[in-house]
Amino acid sequence: MKYRIVVLAKQVPDTRNVGKDAMKADGTVNRAALPAIFNPEDLNALEQALRIKDRFPGSEIIVLTMGPFRAAEIIRESLYRGADRGYLITDRKFAGSDTLATSYAISLAVKKLEPYHFVISGRQAIDGDTAQVGPQTAEKLHLPQVTYAEDILDIEKDSVTIKRRIEMGVEIVKSTLPVAITVHGSAPSCRARLAKLVMKYKHARTITELQEETKDYTDLYSHRPYLQIDEWTVADLNADAEMLGLSGSPTKVKKIENVVLAHKESTRLTADDKDVEWLMQELISRHVIG
């Protein structure tokens, strides 16, 4: 059996390196001020897709990412690890989209890739932490959805068995195919880039990127069509412009606040038995352990 897997991945600002200019005045993220990285849980999602491909050789992994033209890096990073191809959904009209507008655009893009068996994404992106885009996309595509997945245990012709991470432990569920899955950060981390694939795909570019290149790769691209990363615009998706960008986004950021954790929230303990005993009780009563 061969499967077709669509992976949804996002380029996010590295929120581990937040500076004072991380936010713009209108309350949206100032992406230019932060290093851009592959959203960590989307890497977990990609790994799950790669494992399906390992188990079922000949399966196909298509990566979709939405963002500015530099988000093509996400497609390349996926190709370096074993994805087969990718599309960059990019258009100025997408700017300012919230989760509703984003999932609308993505669902249209996924539809173009029919027939598929899996739509796999990370649980949430570290820039918004909403965990909404995966489920909203599934809903728009009328797919059963399994969120917080940790491992894909078993795949049969028309069904899949998945282990999910839930608050108090794990749950094993079965779903029909096609299915939408969001993957939790406790799932296995993504494999390293493969040396040969890096060398093979490092020249992969979108048309927009090619226009920025100083070197002429025309010849190379005619020989190696796989180096072309396709861009999909609003027109390619036949999307209703009203449902995109700021006009399609009911979410309005009212205010951004800096939260500084107050000193009183910390407790200093020593290593003696009394303090350790106190800590154990505290952790049990807050259901951190036990």
Contact stretch for another protein (CB under 8 A) within 125-133, 136-144, 193-201, 254-262: 193-201
Among 20, 25, 167, 195, binds another protein (CB under 8 A): 195
Is 18 one of the binding residues for another protein (CB under 8 A)?
A: no
How deeply is 36 buried, as exposed, middle or buried, from its count of CB atoms within 10 A (0-12, 13-18, 19+)? middle
Is 85 one of the binding residues for another protein (CB under 8 A)?
A: no
Tokens, residue 45: 């999602």
Judged by beta carbon, residue 27 or residue 188, the one nearer another protein is 188
Task: Report whether the peptide linkage leading into residue 13 is cis, meaning its omega lies within 30 degrees of zero.
Answer: no
Judged by CB under 8 A, the chain residues 204 through 233 that form the site for another protein are 220, 224
CA distance 288 to 290: 7
Tokens, residue 150: 């940790």
- Residue 268: which of 253, 255, 257, 278 has the closest Cα? 278
Judged by beta carbon, residue 196 or residue 264, the one nearer another protein is 196
Among 1, 32, 199, 256, binds another protein (CB under 8 A): 199
CA distance 147 to 122: 9
> How many residues contact another protein, by CB under 8 A?
13
Question: CB of residue 191 vs another protein: minimum separation in angstroms?
Answer: 6
Is 202 one of the binding residues for another protein (CB under 8 A)?
A: yes
Judged by beta carbon, residue 195 or residue 259, the one nearer another protein is 195
Judged by CB under 8 A, the chain residues 133 through 192 that form the site for another protein are 191-192
Judged by beta carbon, residue 163 or residue 193, the one nearer another protein is 193
Among 96, 193, 233, 243, binds another protein (CB under 8 A): 193
Place of tokens 């048309």: 207
Contact stretch for another protein (CB under 8 A) within 4-12, 198-206, 258-266, 280-288: 198-206
Is 194 one of the binding residues for another protein (CB under 8 A)?
A: yes
Question: CB of residue 247 vs another protein: minimum separation in angstroms?
Answer: 38
Is 246 one of the binding residues for another protein (CB under 8 A)?
A: no
Is 198 one of the binding residues for another protein (CB under 8 A)?
A: yes
Question: CB of residue 37 vs another protein: minimum separation in angstroms?
Answer: 9
CA distance 201 to 85: 10
Judged by beta carbon, residue 163 or residue 224, the one nearer another protein is 224
Which residues sit opposite 160 in a β-bridge? 155, 175
Which residues are near another protein by CB under 8 A? 191-200, 202, 220, 224
